[in-house]
Structure 1
Amino acid sequence: MTETTKRLEELLKTGLAYLVNASEAELKYQRAPGKWSKQELLGHLIDSGMNNLQRFTEIQFAEKPYKIRKYNQDELVLANDYQHADISELAEFWLALNRRIAIIMQQQTEETLSFAIGLPDGQLSDLRFLMVDYVDHLEYHVKQILTELPQS
């Protein structure tokens, strides 16, 4: 889990450096109707972090296999109105949330990383997969935030 935690920390560093230097117009730009802005992508990462922090902690004491509950990502982005939120608040929250996730990841043992989970599609996996998948998902969206350019 050490490598996964290091990746997470590097993504936080890179993402935060971008967010504090980006213009409001760049962060709020929506390239097409129904497409998330960079700021909404950050909000989606916050929602993902909150859901996964709950999963990572509940699995420690819940009946196994721990059942993963899907969440409505589009509805959460709208309900939280991330497009109109203060970017500093979002960036600080995202950073704090993921620092807590990194601590939870570091606390895991080989035994806990093997805890069984039931995926929404009915397949079985383990906590290790869930944690690595979380960081993979975060990396995918941080790269989108860093590289997608607003169209003029």
Structure 2
Amino acid sequence: MESILKLDELIADMTEIVTATSEMEFNLKLSPDKWSKKEILGHLCDSAVHNHVRFVKILLSEYPIAIQGYAQNDWVQVHDYQNQYDPSEVLSLWQHLNRMILRVMRAAETSDFQKKCVLPDKTEVTLEWLFNDYVDHLIHHLEQIEA
């Protein structure tokens, strides 16, 4: 599956981009209500936690799983990535979480990717769609961190 290969590439790309970014730039907040690059990466850690659980629940179920949303801003605030983590810590956390997701997805059977889940708006999608959406979400935020 192409998205599995893409996630593997993204782990390497994100590592390169973050390590090439100065700590000052990584911590810079353009306004109080906008995330810094560090907080964006922290948000991606939170996203990885939620999506890992979603992926595993879908893989283990014979029936469509209802996907719950989460309060993204609140999660970033509670974790306080801006003040409680240095850049290498948040990067390491993100790497480990995504490697865990990668291992789960690589172990899935081809037929598992057609298992269903239900989004908060009641739209029914497959695990394949959800995983592709997860990877697209990473790409979107990687571009923000790289900018």
TM-score by length of 2: 0.95
1:12, distance to aligned residue in structure 2 (A): 1.2
- The match for 1:145 is 145
Q: In the alignment, is residue 27 of structure 1 matched against residue 26 of structure 2?
A: yes
Letter in 2 for 1:103: R
- The match for 1:150 is none
- The match for 2:91 is 91
Check the 8 A contact 2:59/2:108 in 1, yes or no. Answer: no
The whole-number CA distance in structure 2 between the counterparts of 1:5 and 1:122 is 26
**Aligned residues: CA RMSD:** 1.1
What's the CA shift string for 1:63-106, capped at 9, x where partnerless?
62100010110000000001111111111111011011111111
TM-score by length of 1: 0.92
The whole-number CA distance in structure 2 between the counterparts of 1:9 and 1:59 is 21
Greater helix share, 1 or 2? Answer: 2
- The match for 2:41 is 42
The whole-number CA distance in structure 2 between the counterparts of 1:108 and 1:63 is 14
Letter in 2 for 1:128: E
| Mean Cα deviation higher: 41-50 or 106-115 | 106-115
Task: Give the gaps of 5 or more residues in structure 2.
Answer: none
Task: Give the gaps of 5 or more residues in structure 1.
Answer: 148-152
The whole-number CA distance in structure 2 between the counterparts of 1:63 and 1:115 is 8
The whole-number CA distance in structure 1 between the counterparts of 2:63 and 2:139 is 28
Check the 8 A contact 2:44/2:138 in 1, yes or no. Answer: yes
- The match for 2:6 is 7
Report the number of matched residues.
Answer: 146
- The match for 2:79 is 80
- The match for 1:106 is 106
1:21, distance to aligned residue in structure 2 (A): 2.3
1:40, distance to aligned residue in structure 2 (A): 0.2
Letter in 1 for 2:102: A
What's the CA shift string for 1:96-121, capped at 9, x where partnerless?
11011111111222321111100100
- The match for 2:68 is 69
Identity across matched positions, percent:
38
